[in-house]
Amino acid sequence: MVPNGTGFVNYFYSTGGAQGVGWRLASGGVVDQAGVRVPFGGGLVIQALGSRSLVLSGQVKTGKTRVTLQTGRNFLANLCPVNAGGTSPSAAGLTLATSGMQSFLTAGRASALADLVLIWNGTGYNQYYYATGGLVGTGWRRIGAGSTDQGAVPMPDGAFVIQRRGAPTEVILNQGNY
């Protein structure tokens, strides 16, 4: 699934049959899509039909990354190359509080007024927002957890989702020094 600004264009790898062998549009057709480029600095979503092991190679991007948050769901990668959660977490890894996202997300006195950060929990998404006061106080909160501070929640090693409620905005993500 490759983002196109309003959603995703879905591709799959065909192993034969009427569509032939190679990358094809999920919506149908036999035209080879192998030349489609993933935008530089962009990302993609892989939806597997079962458990898979995936190895990606390359280099860790250093420095700042410019991202446009569109209204709706946005998939973002954790730029921090240090494990903040999972097995053997490092204290240097990013958490909600150290991510800096509260500086560019729309905050609110209630979750319905704020942008949401969705983090996969293995069966679904925990939904977090930055609260600006009211009954839940100020700081990172999880929907359904009341006023409990969620700032120490680790950012996942892979990706997470931002549900942007406001107008599109361009933000700068900084990897930090590790």
What is the Cα 146 distance to its own chain's centre? 24
Alpha-carbon Rg for the chain in angstroms: 18
C-beta separation of 147 from 136 below 8 A: yes
At 2-53, the pLDDT tens digits run 877 667 889 999 999 999 999 999 998 899 999 988 766 566 778 888 888 8
Q: How confident is the model at residue 136 (pLDDT cuts 50, 70, 90)?
A: very high
Between strands 11-15 and 138-142, the pairing is unpaired
Is the model's pTM score more than 0.85? no
Question: How far, in Å, CA of 129 to CA of 81, rounded?
Answer: 24
What's phi and psi for 131, nearest 5 deg?
-90, 145
At 52-101, the pLDDT tens digits run 888 877 766 667 777 888 888 887 776 665 555 556 555 566 789 988 88
Question: How far, in Å, CA of 115 to CA of 105, rounded?
Answer: 6
